[in-house]
Amino acid sequence: MDTGYDVIDDSLYSRQRYVLGDSAMQRMAKSNVLLVNIGGLGVEIAKNIVLAGIKSLTIQDGSQATYLDLGCQFFITEDDVKSGKNRAETSAVRISELNPYVSVRTLTNQLTELLDLEYLKEYQCVILTETSLDVQLRISDFCRKQNPQIMMIVADVYGVFSWTFCDFGDTFDVVDPNGEEPKQVFISNVTKDNPGEVTTLDNMLHGFETGDLVRFKEIRGMDSLNGTQCKIKDLSKFDAPANIHLGMLTTECFKQKHGHLPGVWCLQDADNFVQLAAEENIKLTNKLEELDTTLLRQMSLTCCGRLAPLCATLGGIVAQEALKALTGKFTPLHQWLHLDAAEVLNGLEVKPSDSFQPVQSRYDALRICVGGELCQKLATLKLFMVGCGAIGCEMMKNYALLGISTADQGKLTITDHDLIEKSNLNRQFLFKPHHIRKAKSTTSAASAKEINPALIIDAHQNKVWPQTEADIYHDKFYESQDVVVNALDNLEARRYVDSRCVTNQRPLLESGTMGAKGHVQVIIPHLTESYSSQRDPPEIEVPYCTLKSFPAQIEHCIQWARDKFESTFVQKPQLHNKFWSTNNADDVIKRLSDGQSIDGCVTASKVLYARPLNWIDCVTVARLKFEKYFNHRAKNLLHIFPLDTKMPDGSLFWQSPKRPPTPVNFDPQNPTHMLFITSWAKIIASVCGVPWAKADVTEDTMKAILLKVQVPEFRPSGKRVETDENAGKTEETEITGDDLKDSANRIQTTLLSKPQAFQPLSTAEFEKDDDSNGHIDFITAASNLRATMYNIETVDRLKAKRIAGRIVPAIATTTAAVAGLVTIELIKLVKKAPLEHFKNCFLNLALPIFLFSEPGPVEKVTMLSGTTYTLWDRWEIRGNKNFTVQEFLNSLKEKYNAIADSVIHGVKMLYVPIIPAHKKRLRQPMLQFLKSASSKKYVDLVVSFKAAADDTEVEQEGPPVRYFFGI
């Protein structure tokens, strides 16, 4: 099979390209990797690097599939175990289906100390799992002697502990340490001191961090600085947990001494293991002053098992390190990393028990780690997962391996309203090419059941939002769930699910990724804050005048192009349709001629008059727009504000960040100029229902049309140009009598010359993933033309698409790591671990950095009355059909020591005492004012309370109040 790729398939790799870039992608496409042993960790690594798009992967494994594999190796089936198939051969078939560009080969002999290693020379990277220390040392020595050196990674998972080691040599070059887009800030002043001081413009945070490199450009007065670089400060290093490291060394020593790993939950072996660790510690150069005997015993008791989500986490990390080795993209691990999930063991009774012993079950690898009782609790779990995309696929795989929702009492409910696209295949490994355009939820459910047929899954294709709250995802539904898991990619949906979990007091596991970054948040009723408790800083809004007339960065140009797209191809067609569906042309002409204005008449008349009816018209309109936007507007700005214009304080008007424009002269030989014309013509043709063929967009045809276009000469405009950065977009200027007459003339002319122009228009809803529609071509061309006009650096199509489409960069490695960490927290939830055992996480695989913290505790609010509550609290009042408003208020005071001041239901004021008529309501039944909700058993009310403070009455908010009708 021909493998690798010369031209990157953007429809497959689009999200990954935003993270890694084309050069790294091309280097991967020429790289060969050897992976030794494909157990639970190995298959995770293989999945991730094959999805990434290397040239070839060779899997070397001489072992047969066993029941222990089924608990963590998702490409091995029970039939493979029963028939004794080789792990490499049975896995390679399924791994090769992940990416058609990657060649997957197998070697079925074991890698031993005696094997001739010359065959390793064909690989650029060797990854070792499940190998002995002797083999690791021998291969390390061989790889280091090669020229160029072969990159080597070693990794393993023992029970709930894991580690990895990377050796990329002494001269490894990092071409991009973090993958971040370079930040741009504007400088107001640079001193000549040594060291010099650089000051940014007022009210602008530069956002740089310690260790960043800054490059100067466009400096005036100190030209020698242009092109130079300065470094701010060195970064600190990352330390590894010494006790886990000692435990890993002890595991190897135990195997060498006894010929096997410590027995499953064997207390005698655990004692011997601790003693051996103490002996090994004495031999170390950097000895541990005190051994963590609890941790060492845990490692001994569980090392024969494999915790699947820990394999997923480490598999994502190791795969990313392999990609770093192949490409030089991102900062490599500082050689050692140790991760554990020891909290899942805390509280388990350490005594001889059959609960932890393997029983020839697919859950043996898990059973050894956490015991049979916890396995059963996982099997009976009722879990609701929102989203079945990248994180969702990884979560489903983890659920299948752990046996979540496989017993009669359990159920895994999932929902996602999206369909599968080709670009999903690069990181959503449960989907294959033949699944394209099928539902994500039902497809991921079917694929997960291939891993574990016992899964009980209810797959929905619904959005989780207010419109489905009444009849599908109502309170009763949430109350039936043990836990909710977010696998979403947008902030609004996350906050909505979070609010529903708070209302119904359900635990929520929240996570997300952006490129190499990821986060995990554990949300537990009454213990932790919720997702919405913390808010990200709001995005800095670009002043309207900057977008309109004074762009300073390429992002401003792209936003301008995006706004122009929305205005021209969506809003104006919508206005046209609305206006002419409610107005008669003859009547409009008469009213305008009489001086009577009609809402939207000026814009509607312009859209109507300029509407193209054939392809030549479309190209003509596009050419005139080019001249208007990129030539005449520049000339008009310079006419209003000549280059020597001064501000009231005497400073120049055209100074940073304002850039004076330069008119762009149309050149049919310039590809960007022609791309703008062609893309505009295509889009306006689709809006106006104008047919065109491939022959119409050939270079010769387009140039022939353009030669005949009459371009008007520039005439200065009398329109005012906004320069105030605090001013927003103003509404349409006041319409004069001349405007009304001009509009009437345009409509009259159109009615006589092309009455078909009154037909409805289509709208071109922005679609970034369809290359045939011209949308991204237009954004790219328009953005770069505006950038050229203002002397701003242009961008390629990929960056324009990412910014305009607000695309979140994504890679499989981060997704796998985050999903693994979430699942570890899920296990803790099921075993009802104390708060201090849970871990929120922020990670960045590019640096790499892993920050763990205890979830933030819930904030307690104390009312002036002394009553306290948290966001998880809900006060309840139970009434009956005759229960009056006064009785409701009395109940609140008696039960919660709170005097209600107002009661609101939705947008309806049920009782507000400052409204005179409301005092009569005190004697009336509550149900009388809640008729719209009487079909339910309860309503949620917003109640404010009054209390005395400093001899004055103040109003305070309290928790939501749920009132039960009692009928």
Q: Is residue 166 over pLDDT 70?
A: yes
Do 769 and 906 lie in one domain? The reply is: no
Cβ 40 vs Cβ 71: under 8 Å: yes
Task: Select from 16, 115, 6 the least CA-distant residue to 34.
Answer: 115
Q: Is residue 176 over pLDDT 80?
A: yes
pLDDT band at 937 (very low <50, low <70, confident <90, very high): confident
Do 696 and 579 lie in one domain? The reply is: yes
How much is the pLDDT for 251? 96
Burial class (CB in 10 A: 0-12, 13-18, 19+), 441: buried
Do 894 and 934 lie in one domain? The reply is: yes
In DSSP terms, 457 is beta-bridged to 412
In DSSP terms, 949 is beta-bridged to 952
Residue 71 lies in a domain: no
In DSSP terms, 350 is beta-bridged to none
Do 868 and 844 lie in one domain? The reply is: no
Q: Is residue 239 over pLDDT 60?
A: no
Do 509 and 580 lie in one domain? The reply is: no
Do 475 and 404 lie in one domain? The reply is: yes
Burial class (CB in 10 A: 0-12, 13-18, 19+), 694: exposed
pLDDT band at 947 (very low <50, low <70, confident <90, very high): confident
Among 774, 791, 808, the domain-final residue is 791
The rounded Cα 885 to chain-centroid distance in angstroms is: 47
The residue whose two tokens read 């022609």 is 674
How much is the pLDDT for 203? 45
Cβ 863 vs Cβ 944: under 8 Å: no
CATH number of the domain encompassing residue 872: 3.10.290.60
Give the mean model confidence (pLDDT) for residues 750-771. Answer: 93
Give the mean model confidence (pLDDT) for residues 879-892. Answer: 94
Cis peptide before 657 (omega within 30 of 0): yes
Do 525 and 604 lie in one domain? The reply is: no
Instruction: Give the structural domain span for 660.
Output: 552-712+737-791
CATH number of the domain encompassing residue 394: 3.40.50.720
Residue among 125, 375, 545, 688 flagged as catalytic: 545
Side chain identity, residue 579: F
How much is the pLDDT for 198? 66
How is 615-646 classified by DSSP, letter by letter? HHHHHHHHHHHHHIIIIIHHHHHHHHS-TT-B
Residue 28 lies in a domain: no
> DSSP character for 384?
E
Residue 456 lies in a domain: yes
Do 562 and 701 lie in one domain? The reply is: yes
How much is the pLDDT for 966? 78
Cβ 582 vs Cβ 822: under 8 Å: no
Burial class (CB in 10 A: 0-12, 13-18, 19+), 462: middle
How much is the pLDDT for 967? 67
How is 20-32 classified by DSSP, letter by letter? H-HHHHHHHTT-E
Residue 240 lies in a domain: no
Q: Is residue 31 over pLDDT 60?
A: yes
Q: How many alpha carbons lie under 13 Å from residue 823 in its C-beta half-sphere?
A: 30
How much is the pLDDT for 240? 41
In DSSP terms, 117 is beta-bridged to none
For residue 521, the SS3 value is: strand
Q: Which two tokens stand for residue 809?
A: 């960069």
Please state, rounded to an integer, the average pLDDT across all residues of the chain.
91
H-helix segments, 482-632 = 491-503, 544-548, 554-566, 572-582, 585-593, 601-610, 615-627
Do 824 and 900 lie in one domain? The reply is: no
How much is the pLDDT for 237? 30
How much is the pLDDT for 8? 73
CATH number of the domain encompassing residue 741: 1.10.10.2660
Residue 9 lies in a domain: no
How much is the pLDDT for 5? 65
pLDDT band at 228 (very low <50, low <70, confident <90, very high): low
Percent of the chain at pLDDT above 70?
A: 91
Cβ 965 vs Cβ 879: under 8 Å: yes
Residues in contact with 83: Cβ distance below 8 Å, sequence separation at least 6, in sequence order: none
In whole angstroms, give the CA distance from residue 8 to residue 22.
Answer: 8
- How many separate helices (H) and strands (E) can be counted in the chain? 31, 27
Among 808, 841, 857, the domain-final residue is 857
Residues in contact with 939: Cβ distance below 8 Å, sequence separation at least 6, in sequence order: 905, 930, 933, 962, 963, 965
In whole angstroms, give the CA distance from residue 73 to residue 401.
Answer: 8
Angstrom CA distances, 741 to 572, 583, 593, 597, 603, stand at: 21, 17, 6, 10, 13
Side chain identity, residue 857: P
pLDDT band at 344 (very low <50, low <70, confident <90, very high): very high
- Among the residue ranges 88-92, 264-268, 616-620, the one predicted with the least confidence is 264-268
- Compute φ and ψ for 791, nearest 5 degrees: 60, 45
For residue 279, the SS3 value is: helix
Residue 909 lies in a domain: yes
H-helix segments, 628-711 = 633-640, 671-688, 699-707
Do 575 and 705 lie in one domain? The reply is: yes
The string of pLDDT tens digits covering residues 599-633 is 999 999 999 999 999 999 999 999 999 999 999 99
Do 471 and 607 lie in one domain? The reply is: no
Residue 191 CB neighbours (<10 A):
11
The string of pLDDT tens digits covering residues 387-406 is 999 999 999 999 999 999 99
How much is the pLDDT for 182? 65
- Among the residue ranges 635-644, 735-744, 950-959, the one predicted with the least confidence is 950-959
Do 768 and 835 lie in one domain? The reply is: no
- Compute φ and ψ for 514, nearest 5 degrees: -150, 100
Angstrom CA distances, 904 to 249, 893, 908, 935, 957, stand at: 65, 17, 6, 19, 12
How much is the pLDDT for 1? 44
The string of pLDDT tens digits covering residues 478-495 is 999 999 999 998 899 999
- Among the residue ranges 153-162, 527-536, 606-615, 657-666, the one predicted with the least confidence is 527-536
Q: At what angle do helices 308-327 and 390-402 cross, to 10 degrees?
A: 140
Cβ 843 vs Cβ 513: under 8 Å: no
Q: Is residue 538 over pLDDT 60?
A: yes
In DSSP terms, 851 is beta-bridged to 842
The rounded Cα 138 to chain-centroid distance in angstroms is: 41
Among 773, 791, 809, the domain-final residue is 791
The residue whose two tokens read 């009723």 is 525
Q: Is residue 199 over pLDDT 70?
A: no
Task: Select from 521, 557, 548 the least CA-distant residue to 536.
Answer: 521
pLDDT band at 235 (very low <50, low <70, confident <90, very high): very low
In whole angstroms, give the CA distance from residue 250 to residue 300.
Answer: 9
How much is the pLDDT for 236? 33
Q: Is residue 348 over pLDDT 80?
A: no
Residue 267 lies in a domain: no
Angstrom CA distances, 145 to 149, 593, 685, stand at: 7, 90, 64
How much is the pLDDT for 11? 74
Q: How many domains, in total, are found in the chain?
A: 3
How much is the pLDDT for 13? 83
Q: What is the pTM of this model?
A: 0.86
H-helix segments, 328-410 = 364-370, 372-379, 390-402
E-strand ranges in 733-829 read: none
In whole angstroms, give the CA distance from residue 701 to residue 902.
Answer: 72
Q: Is residue 213 over pLDDT 50?
A: yes
Q: Is 501 a catalytic residue?
A: no
The residue whose two tokens read 């999805």 is 51
Residue 692 lies in a domain: yes
How much is the pLDDT for 476? 95
**CA torsion sign, 565 to 571 to 572 to 576?**
positive
Cis peptide before 195 (omega within 30 of 0): yes
Secondary structure element (H or E) that encloses residue 68, with its range: helix 67-70
Task: Select from 811, 818, 812, 846 the least CA-distant residue to 17.
Answer: 811
In whole angstroms, give the CA distance from residue 149 to residue 147.
Answer: 5
Burial class (CB in 10 A: 0-12, 13-18, 19+), 162: buried
Residue 215 CB neighbours (<10 A):
11
